[in-house]
Amino acid sequence: MNNNILRAEHLSKTVSTSDHELTILDDVSFELNRGQSLAIVGPSGAGKSTLLGLLAGLDTPSKGKVWLGDSELTAMDEEGRAAVRAKMVGFVFQTFQLLSSLTALENVSLPMELAGDKHALDRANKYLLRVGLAERVNHYPKQLSGGEQQRVAIARAFACQPKILFADEPTGNLDQKTGLKVCDLLFELNEQSDATLVLVTHEQRLASRCDHMITIDDGKLVESSLTNSQQ
């Protein structure tokens, strides 16, 4: 039993386009301790979202391994990775990723119901209250503003009390003021919950609020404040 919540070992991702192989991610390794927060920064197209997808088990690497807690994601099939996500992972994405056919309340409770939580609805209500949307629980996403939708997504991410939270440019689609409020909320809930936060962002100001920072450029890890046993 070690103190790592997240460990990446020689992660590479290549995709084959029509005429040649394209390397999106090239030999990335690092490890992150429980309860700490990590910012992944770098220019557009560097491979940040790709890396996040591999770390969260949404995608599989061409080479290398990923551990999330005690589970080796890269040794699991899609069902196994989905089960790990349901049990210990929360997501906040730039595009909110809410189900348009479900109300705010149903969106927040869905992952908990998937994980078999009997108090899903109670907890969903509680978290919607905490993000300031008590009045909007029965509204559908299209009835909510972008900032409100992102708050629903944040409530959904924290309500299932994840061990680790992945956020990919959570403020990317919001104006600066709203983005700032959403970010405050994200960090506040994160501190209260002892979850590990992995945040992809363009904004230096946001990145500096995290305990650690790694920089990706052209698929390579070019700068890291993390210790790395692999190198």
Partner 1 sequence: MRTYLNRHLQVLFAAIGTFARTPFASLATILIIAITLVLPSILYITLKSGQQIAEGWQGRPQISIFIDTELGAQEAKLIFAELSLHPAIETAEFLTPQQALEEFTALSGMSYELDFLGENPLPASIVAMPDQENSESDSLQALKTELEKIEGIESIRLDLEWTDKFNSLLNTAERTTYLLFALLSAALFLIVGNTIKLLIMNRRDEIEVTKLVGGSNAFVRRPFLYYGFLFGVCGGVCALVLLYFSAIYISPALENLATLYQKETLVYQLNWHELLCIVAFGGALGWIAARLSVARHLRHIKPR
Chain contacts with Mg ion (rule: CB under 5 A): 49
* Phi and psi angles of residue 60, each rounded to the nearest 5 degrees, phi first: -110, 140
49 contacts ligand ATP (rule: CB under 6 A): yes
Instruction: Select the binding partner of residue 218 from partner 1, ligand ATP, Mg ion, none (C-beta < 5 to 8 A, by kind).
Output: none
Distance CA 195, CA 211 (A): 13
Instruction: Select the binding partner of residue 47 from ligand ATP, partner 1, Mg ion, none (C-beta < 5 to 8 A, by kind).
Output: ligand ATP
Which of 32, 38, 41, 50 binds ligand ATP (CB under 6 A)? It is 50
Distance CA 215, CA 118 (A): 41
Which of 8, 28, 41, 46 binds ligand ATP (CB under 6 A)? It is 46
Angle of CA points 27, 220, 78, to nearest 5°: 55
Closer by beta carbon to partner 1, 32 or else 92: 92
Q: Which residues contact 222 (CB under 8 A, 6 or more apart)?
A: 42, 215, 216
Distance CA 92, CA 69 (A): 20
Residue nearest to ligand ATP (CB): 49
What type of residue is 11?
L
Q: Which stretch binds ligand ATP (CB under 6 A): 46-54, 63-71, 109-117, 186-194?
A: 46-54
Conformation bin of residue 115: beta by default, left when phi > 0, alpha when psi is -120 to 50: alpha
Q: Which stretch binds ligand ATP (CB under 6 A): 44-52, 129-137, 154-162, 203-211?
A: 44-52
Tell me the chain's radius of gyration from C-alpha atoms.
17
Closer by beta carbon to ligand ATP, 25 or else 159: 25
Closer by beta carbon to ligand ATP, 160 or else 216: 216
What type of residue is 161?
Q
221 contacts ligand ATP (rule: CB under 6 A): no
Using the structure block, give the residue that is written with the tokens 């009997």.
118
CB of 181 to ligand ATP, least distance (A): 22
Residue numbers at the binding site for ligand ATP (CB under 6 A): 15, 22, 24, 42, 44-50
